């Protein structure tokens, strides 16, 4: 409707005025707003959806699986087709959403150095394979928004000085004061590049094959809105904004989390939600916890933020047998208001990030954690600190191997400890994300590290489908055991209203060897106590400490055992988790 169009146009113009307040534009803001709305096909003569603020477009049944398009391969067909077959066979009634990591043509970083945003990597399949997956699963697409490949047509045009992309990239001078710039890598920030217009120094936050965009050019925003519209047409229901914290650069600043970055996200949110209010934006901001929380905005930026502090804190908890740091962090986390939620994960295609643990774990704790992971076969990735020192940035290891033991060394509790970690994560406030290699209990892939020379390859195994099926069908394999127990946990979780991502959550005080929290459904009918023994010794729970209401009937949803609140104590085996509920959906 025209009235809605005018209102939206005014809102988009307001975003643009805030973004480009200090930039001399080559066109009026109103004209740019019209171009953006036209790109998103938000026309005056069409009905424009009015999104409802603070609406939750998710519930307890949502589980996102994180996977590469070729994590499972059959030599006789395209990997995206094989992935679909795998999901239909082994993830029935568990997974309903899938994050397919970048499936576009790329030159490095396993997909995050995109050559062409508009096509599917031929080695994986084609758009029809993606849209087929979208028929059964809500798909998360990566929007690699900070940088693209140095082999892209856009960057080639930058070198030539003509054509689309010729003015898309951020440059600086080696003489500029870049001392405050926050770096996630130790490679030189500026890439010396010979162009038809002379030598230029291109900004490269991550690597010299990943050249950063210049969002002060509004044509870059227009190009990305075209990409977003294409992805919506191809079935995207969730957008993951990769490395978005680095999007806006101002020489002389930290060039991270700048106000303009937040405003660009708000602009994207406004345009996307007027196309389809049910599409979710998740920001991938691997930064300290306090900074990460700012990406919720006032429920007008990201719908969800990655809970990056959870993986290092939970792994630390389980290898030390002490939950004090995890508990303190959880108590400090603000409840996500309606219309926003956390995206919980404990393993992904990347490693276990340590920056989000800064201020939560002290240097000695981080050092012990790093040393323990190295003993378990893990690799360490480093970054440069503000003083030029190298600091551990990320632990590269599969979660299954990260939990093979404690600080005392490997032990016999690997599978139980691994399942305990997921039982804690699956019950927490937020939407759970499960990495395919966690679902499969995959171990460190040293051969791939040797082949690629990249530490992160340790956690990016490509399974041959026939080999994997044989292991999953063997009741004695770690892969069968893990998939069976993980699937059981997920199915139970999906049936509990108290596990709605926005259901009430309180942290329980049960000492440092037991980690627990209480969840209550939005209608207040279901109470659920999640309690985990995070040690390799049996622990007792004093039932009066968790205050089970005597008039209710209580049951552990995992073991199916009834819990008598008057019985005094509940004994928990090493790494056992109980989900004690006053309702039994079964």
Catalytic residue positions, numbered: 242
Q: Is 267 annotated as a binding residue?
A: no
Element (H, E) at 438: helix 436-439
State the DSSP H helix or E strand holding residue 318, giving kind and residue range, or none if neither. Answer: helix 310-320
C-alpha distance from residue 356 to each of 290, 321, 338, 394, 397 (Å): 9, 21, 24, 10, 17
Helix (H) or strand (E) holding 145: none
80 known ligand binder: no
Residue 5 φ then ψ, to 5°: -60, -45
Dihedral over alpha carbons 418, 423, 424, 428 (to 10 degrees): 140
State the residue for tokens 């004090």.
Answer: 324
CA distance 24 to 28: 10
Nearest residue to 245 (alpha-carbon basis) of 254, 236, 233: 254
Rounded CA gap, 57 and 219, in Å?
A: 31
Tell me how far apart the alpha carbons of residues 396 and 313 are, in angstroms, rounded to a whole number: 15
The reply to whether 240 sits in an annotated binding site is yes
Query: How far apart, in whole angstroms, are the C-alpha atoms of residue 291 and residue 303?
Result: 16
Angle at 391 between CA 293 and CA 112, to 5 degrees: 60
H/E stretch holding 319: helix 310-320
241 is in an annotated binding site: yes
Whether 456 has a binding-site annotation, put simply, is: yes
The residues that bridge with 179 in the sheet, in sequence order, are none
- For the chain, the C-alpha Rg in angstroms (whole number) is 24
Tell me whether residue 350 is annotated as binding: yes
Q: Is 349 annotated as a binding residue?
A: yes
Cα–Cα distance, 547 to 529 (Å, whole number):
10
Alpha-carbon distance 139 to 141, whole Å?
6
Q: How far apart are CA 49 and CA 335, in angstroms?
A: 28
CA angle 142, 456, 232 (to 5 degrees): 5
**How buried is residue 294: exposed, middle or buried, by Cβ count under 10 Å (0-12/13-18/19+)?**
middle
| Closest listed residue to residue 361, CA positions, set 395, 325, 330 | 325
Contacts of 381 by beta carbon, 8 Å cutoff, 6+ apart: 351, 392, 393, 394, 395, 396, 455, 456
361 is in an annotated binding site: no
With beta carbons less than 8 A apart as the criterion, state whether 531 and 516 touch: yes
Q: How far apart are alpha carbons 60 and 432 in whole angstroms?
A: 9
Residues in binding site:
109, 147, 240-242, 349-350, 456
Residues in binding site for substrate:
109, 147, 240-242, 349-350, 456
């Amino acid at each position: 409707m025209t009235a809605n169009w005018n209102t939206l146009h005014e809102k988009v113009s307001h975003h643009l005025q805030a973004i480009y307040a200090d930039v001399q534009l080559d066109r009026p803001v109103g004209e740019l707003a019209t171009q953006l709305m036209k790109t998103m096909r938000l026309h005056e003569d069409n009905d424009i959806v009015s999104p409802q603020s603070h609406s939750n477009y998710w519930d307890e049944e949502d589980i996102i699986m994180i996977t590469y398009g070729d994590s499972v391969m059959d030599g006789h067909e395209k990997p995206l087709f094989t992935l679909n077959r795998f999901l239909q066979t082994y993830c029935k009634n568990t997974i309903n959403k899938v994050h397919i990591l970048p499936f576009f043509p790329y030159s490095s970083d396993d997909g995050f150095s995109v050559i062409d945003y508009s096509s599917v990597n031929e080695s994986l399949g084609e758009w029809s394979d993606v849209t087929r997956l979208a028929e059964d699963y809500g798909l998360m697409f990566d929007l690699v928004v900070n940088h693209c490949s140095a082999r892209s047509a856009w960057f080639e045009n930058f070198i030539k000085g003509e054509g689309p992309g010729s003015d898309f990239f951020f440059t600086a001078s080696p003489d500029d004061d870049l001392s405050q710039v926050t770096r996630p890598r130790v490679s030189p920030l500026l890439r010396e590049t010979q162009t038809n217009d002379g030598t230029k120094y291109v900004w490269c936050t991550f690597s010299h094959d990943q050249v950063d965009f210049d969002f002060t050019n509004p044509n870059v925003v227009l190009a990305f809105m075209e990409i977003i519209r294409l992805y919506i047409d191809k079935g995207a229901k969730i957008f993951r904004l990769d490395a978005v914290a680095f999007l806006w650069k101002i020489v002389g600043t930290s060039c991270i989390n700048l106000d303009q970055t937040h405003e660009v996200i708000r602009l994207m949110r406004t345009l996307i939600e007027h196309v389809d209010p049910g599409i979710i934006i998740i920001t991938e901001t691997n930064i300290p916890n306090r900074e990460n929380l700012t990406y919720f905005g006032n429920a007008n930026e990201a719908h969800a933020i990655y809970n990056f502090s959870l993986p290092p804190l939970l792994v630390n908890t389980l290898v030390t047998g002490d939950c004090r740091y995890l508990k303190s962090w959880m108590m400090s986390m603000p409840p996500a208001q309606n219309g926003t939620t956390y995206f919980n994960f404990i393993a992904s295609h990347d490693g276990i990030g340590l920056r989000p643990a800064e201020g939560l774990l002290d240097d000695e704790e981080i050092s012990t954690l790093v040393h323990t992971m190295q003993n378990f076969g893990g690799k360490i990735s480093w970054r440069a600190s503000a003083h030029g020192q190298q600091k551990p940035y990320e632990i590269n290891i599969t979660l299954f191997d990260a939990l093979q033991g404690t600080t005392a060394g490997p032990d016999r509790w690997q599978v139980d400890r691994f399942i305990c970690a997921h039982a804690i994560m699956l019950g927490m406030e937020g939407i759970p994300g499960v990495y395919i290699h966690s679902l499969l209990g995959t171990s460190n892939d040293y051969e791939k590290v040797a082949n690629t020379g990249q530490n992160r390859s340790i956690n990016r195994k490509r399974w041959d489908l026939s080999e994997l099926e044989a292991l999953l069908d063997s009741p004695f394999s770690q892969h069968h055991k893990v998939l069976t127990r993980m699937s059981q946990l997920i199915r139970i979780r999906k049936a509990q209203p108290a596990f709605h991502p926005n259901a009430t959550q309180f942290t329980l005080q049960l000492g440092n060897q037991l980690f627990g929290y209480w969840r209550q459904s939005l209608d207040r009918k279901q109470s659920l106590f999640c309690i985990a023994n995070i040690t390799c010794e049996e622990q007792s729970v004093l039932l009066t400490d968790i205050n089970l209401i005597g008039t209710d009937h209580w049951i552990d949803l995992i073991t199916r055992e009834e819990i008598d609140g008057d019985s005094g104590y509940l004994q928990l085996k090493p790494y056992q988790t109980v989900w004690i509920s006053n309702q039994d959906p079964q």
